[in-house]
């Protein structure tokens, strides 16, 4: 079956530091990959996505590249802000599995001024 493994948290960084949150996956088909962000007290927002190998998703300074050879989709940002403090979820959706999403456990990021 499908699975997503995320870097364990929590992660604490100083403002303007470089961020990497690792995500690897296993899937039976050809999944689409997603990063979602959940700010305190809110629902999930789609942060970025990639639908095929070598695609790069980007949004709000965050980037992630779909690496089929390493089955990875690591989230990066060059300079984090306090407002980036949130829980980040890596997920995949497999069209052969009727679009169901499989989620990682989530990584809590805290950015300190």
Partner 1 sequence: SAVISQKPSRDICQRGTSLTIQCQVDSQVTMMFWYRQQPGQSLTLIATANQGSEATYESGFVIDKFPISRPNLTFSTLTVSNMSPEDSSIYLCSVGQDSGNTIYFGEGSWLTVV
Q: Residues in contact with partner 1, total (CB under 8 A)?
A: 24
Closest to partner 1 by CB, 80 vs 90, is 90
> Within positions 82 to 101, which residues make up the interface with partner 1, using CB under 8 A?
89, 91, 93-95, 97-101
Does residue 66 touch partner 1 according to CB under 8 A?
no
From the CB of residue 9, how many other CB atoms can be counted at a distance below 10 Å?
15
54 binds partner 1 (CB under 8 A): no
- Shortest CB 47 distance to partner 1, Å: 12
21 lines the binding site for partner 1 (CB under 8 A): no
């Amino acid at each position: 079956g499908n699975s997503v493994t995320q870097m364990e948290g929590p992660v604490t960084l100083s403002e303007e530091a470089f961020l990497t949150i690792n995500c690897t996956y296993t899937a039976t088909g050809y999944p689409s990959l997603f990063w979602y962000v959940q700010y305190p007290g809110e629902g999930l927002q789609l942060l970025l996505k990639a639908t095929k190998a070598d695609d790069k998703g980007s949004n709000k300074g965050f980037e992630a590249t779909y690496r089929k050879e390493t089955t990875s989709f690591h989230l990066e940002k060059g300079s984090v802000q306090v407002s980036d403090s949130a829980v980040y979820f890596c997920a995949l959706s497999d069209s052969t599995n009727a679009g169901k999403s499989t989620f990682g456990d989530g990584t809590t990021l805290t950015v300190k001024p």
